[in-house]
Amino acid sequence: MLEELLRQLGRGGVQSYQDLTGALSISEPLLEAMLENLARLGYLRPVESCRGGACHGCSAGSDGCSVHGQGRLWSLTERGLRAAARETGSPA
């Protein structure tokens, strides 16, 4: 199931918790637990704030970002990007 989540995240773009729970047919609490597990394993990192350059490289762009709502913001780490590329069959 974690591989499926990595594959979904590896598709890029901004995905809401609703997008992810729908794509994976799971509950929001399960999604949050899976995200926390991927973070603990070094594949994701929480984005605490979009200020001060934290959005560098974000697919939503730092100008006029409107990412908000329920859930936390997460970003793939280098390790996560490599694993997602393997899962999707894309070059790393």
pLDDT band at residue 85, thresholds of 50, 70 and 90?
A: confident
What's the distance, CA 38 to chain centroid? 10
Please report which confidence band the pLDDT of residue 59 belongs to, taking 50, 70 and 90 as the band edges: low
Distance of CA 73 to CAs 89, 90, 92, Å?
25, 24, 23
In the chain the first and final C-alpha atoms are separated, in Å, by 21
For 5-57, the pLDDT digits (tens) are 999 998 887 888 899 999 999 999 999 999 999 999 999 998 766 555 555 55
pTM confidence score? 0.74
pLDDT given at position 14: 81
Q: Supply the pLDDT for residue 73.
A: 81
- Please tell me the class of the 2-88 domain: mainly alpha
